[in-house]
Amino acid sequence: MWNKLFGTGVALFNTGVALVLALLLSNAALGAEARMSRHALIIGIGEYEARGIETLHGVKHDMESAKRMAETMGIPTSNIRYLRDKAATLEGIRKEIRELEERINQGDRVFVYYSGHGTRYLDESISKDTCTEALMAADGNALTNRELGQLLKRIADKTDKLFVFYDACFSGGVVAEPFQVTSPSFLYQCN
């Protein structure tokens, strides 16, 4: 079913099952060795530059857990990239995902992890009664499910496996429609 929804080689999971799945899928029980064909991008935003966005104090622990998951998956430390707090602006996240796509080869495995705020809002250009869901960048801009899906699709098309974990409120919509594109306004909060 995952292949039908998200394309070959892509699996998107919530963080609640991340560690269990990472252990099962990474051959950790067999002592997975670091492989240069494996890559990770770990994004953690606990402190936001935009006013009025609450600080998330647990993100530093989430990033350490994500690092351990990546190592358990056999990803060499030299292939793990980190984007933290003020470096994780909307443009910074886009840039890191594009660079990740450039670094990987056909058949590689990729792990992308995000810990931070999620959001949802009404974008009437898409639907008058359905919310757009997004991940919040450090500068307060939203990386929508549609844009993120488009960025990750290019990676998914090259990889053997793509594991993406979101630890954010409203991340369900990021999984529901990951491969569509839009440029939403960020003015209306959904209830």
What sign does the CA torsion over 111, 115, 116, 119 have? positive
Residue with tokens 């960025």: 151
pTM of the full structure: 0.74
**Is residue 9 one of the residues assigned to a domain?**
yes
Q: Is residue 172 domain-resident?
A: yes
CATH of the domain at 94: 3.40.50.1460
Asked if residue 7 is part of any domain, the answer here is: yes
Q: How, if at all, do strands 142-144 and 131-136 pair?
A: antiparallel
Average pLDDT of the chain? 78
- Domain containing 95: what range? 2-176
| Domain count across the chain | 1
What confidence tens digit (pLDDT) does each residue in 68-126 have?
A: 999 999 999 999 999 999 999 999 999 999 999 999 999 999 999 999 999 888 877 77
On whether the CB atoms of residues 177 and 120 are closer than 8 A, the answer is: no
44-59 pLDDT, tens digit per residue, is 999 999 888 899 999 9
* In a domain? residue 169: yes
Residue 32: pLDDT band (50, 70, 90) is: low
